[in-house]
Chain A
Amino acid sequence: MYNQKVMEAFANPQNVGVIENADGEGMVGNASCGDIMKITLKIENDIIVDAKFQTFGCAAAIATSSTATQMIIGLSLDEALQITNAKVVEYLEGLPPQKIHCSVLAEEAIKKAIEDYRAKQAAKA
């Protein structure tokens, strides 16, 4: 059902975990739907220097979270906000149609983590 690239991302996920004292944190989804994704970011001068994820969900959810964290490390916040679920799916060379919604979670988690960071910055200022 999944292609080789998705299988690899699922079987050897990168950036698993939680960043202590993260600058931004985003959690989306809910347990009854069977999908929760949490992304934590370390941000320096508006650049994402580290990203980690934790995911409760199917293989596609794990593969897309891992891929999304890999794609955003090193990007500015504005660049990271341009990483849509379609780009994650493209990087993975496609997902089965019924699994596309899993990739949306990764995009939403990143957006939420960046919003969290910006809200904290605004509060400080």
Chain B
Amino acid sequence: MRIYFDHAATTPCDKRVVDAMIPYFYDNFGNSHSQHFFGRETEKAVAESRATIANLIGSSPNELYFTSSGTESDNWAIKGVALSRANKGKHIIISEIEHHAILASADWLEKQGFTVSKLPVLPSGVVDVDALEGMITPETTLVSVMYVNNIVGTIQPIKQIVEIAHKHGVIVHTDCVQAMPYMRIDVKDLGVDLLTFSAHKFYGPKGVGALYIRNGIRIDKLIGGGGQERSQRGGTTNTPAIVGMAKALQIAVDEMEQNNKHIESLRDHFVQRVLNEIPYVRQNGDLTRSVPSIANFSFEFVEGEGILMFLDLNGIAASSGSACSSGSLEPEHVLLAMGVPIEVSHGTIRFSFGKHNTMEEVDYTVDKLVNIISKLREMSPLFNLKDGGTYNV
């Protein structure tokens, strides 16, 4: 049994995506900046891919910059905008529930003398948009809030954030990495100035991300080099990955409705069964305001790593939070910000479903999970069968 319930960490490449990429490793391997016909062939493929993606997100092709990852796009957006507007002010606003790529970029800016404020989050997992206006000062140059949270899957009110920020002349960036492939993205409709996304979250290849930068937005470049990406981001163009990204996004958009329906039915069945069959469990994040793919639970009186490893021994891959931070022992900042008590947060597992998963996999997993939780609770000094559980021992 090999069950993959960790699609928020990464997705498998769609076979059609790989097929589209293959020619650009062998026959059409040229450097897209070379003058000869090898270069011209790949330059054409990159231009077509850029146009396809731009069309799918409602931008112009020249507003789209390819990078190596969502993390690079986030770093570029946060640092690049803050630095280019430092003469106006040195204050930026992010949210309490951002990805580590944003948190680390904000930390870096603080070391350079910037001030960073964090928009609080409500227990639902949605940021408190009413608090935003009061946080904006004359020094504020940038607001960055993710579109979909990677831990609990909640959708953030980006349009409202844009409305408030733009009233004060503040630029808005959103990390959109977890929104695709579940939501149609239209940058004009959202109104954001910069937007990050990454191919491997929507069945595309790893190693390629993009940053949408609205025409007219000034940004310092982070990676100098050749004249690639309109001289804004150096580095030989990753043609196969870019071709793959365009193909993956096209498929994601074309098949979104049917995939969402399937994934949502898996998630809802899973959540229902877990809540019915396992006592002392807390489901994190408002499912009515979430993408259909993520179910996040805190199992009380047990610790997440043990759950994860027993799942692993049963051939089930899930995550104890964000894969990016699983090396650390820090409790998940998103859950704490949402008001989950720290001792409860230790028992948190994220299951994220994908288009290839089946109902049989969901049922098998719940069956195993019921046993795993009860086995770990048997071992826990916080729980006994007679009286249930308590953290006050």
Contacts and interface: CB of A to CB of B under 8 A. Distances in A.
Given A11-B313, A58-B303, A98-B329, A34 B379 contact: no
A37 B393 CA distance: 11
Given A34-B331, A36-B393, A10 B309 contact: yes
A57 B251 CA distance: 43
Interface in A7-59: 7, 10-11, 13, 16, 27, 31-32, 34-38, 53-59
B301 interface: yes
A114 interface: no
Interface in B374-393: 378-382, 391, 393
B343 A34 contact: yes
A11 to B, nearest CB: 6
Contacts of A62: 306, 379
Contacts of B305: 58-59
A110 to B, nearest CB: 15
A55 B379 contact: yes
A37 B379 contact: no
B310 A56 contact: no
Interface residues of B, number: 21
B238 to A, nearest CB: 31
A62 B391 CA distance: 18
A16 B383 CA distance: 13
B173 interface: no
B102 to A, nearest CB: 25
B342 interface: yes
Nearest to B343: A31
A37 B381 contact: yes
Interface residues of A, number: 23
B329 A55 contact: no
B393 A59 contact: no
A13 B343 CA distance: 23
A81 B346 CA distance: 31
Contacts of B391: 31
Contact of B303 (A32, A34, A53, A54): A34
B304 to A, nearest CB: 8
B379 A13 contact: yes
B302 interface: yes
A38 B381 contact: yes
A98 B331 CA distance: 14
B303 to A, nearest CB: 5
Contact of B306 (A53, A59, A98): A59
A34 B344 CA distance: 9
B381 A56 contact: yes
Contact of B380 (A10, A11, A56): A56
A36 B306 contact: no
Contact of A55 (B327, B346, B380): B380
B306 A54 contact: no
Given A34-B331, A98-B329, A10 B381 contact: no
B309 A36 contact: no
A50 B246 CA distance: 64
A27 B309 CA distance: 25
A56 B301 contact: yes
B381 A36 contact: yes
A38 B380 CA distance: 9
Interface in B339-393: 342-343, 346, 378-382, 391, 393
The 9 closest A-B pairs by CB, nearest first: A31-B343, A54-B381, A34-B346, A58-B305, A38-B381, A56-B380, A32-B342, A31-B391, A59-B309
Interface of B: 301-303, 305-306, 309-310, 313, 327, 329, 331, 342-343, 346, 378-382, 391, 393
Interface of A: 7, 10-11, 13, 16, 27, 31-32, 34-38, 53-59, 61-62, 98
23 contacts: A7-B309, A10-B306, A10-B309, A11-B309, A11-B310, A31-B382, A31-B391, A32-B342, A34-B331, A36-B382, A54-B379, A54-B381, A55-B379, A55-B380, A56-B302, A56-B381, A57-B306, A58-B303, A58-B305, A59-B306, A62-B379, A98-B327, A98-B329
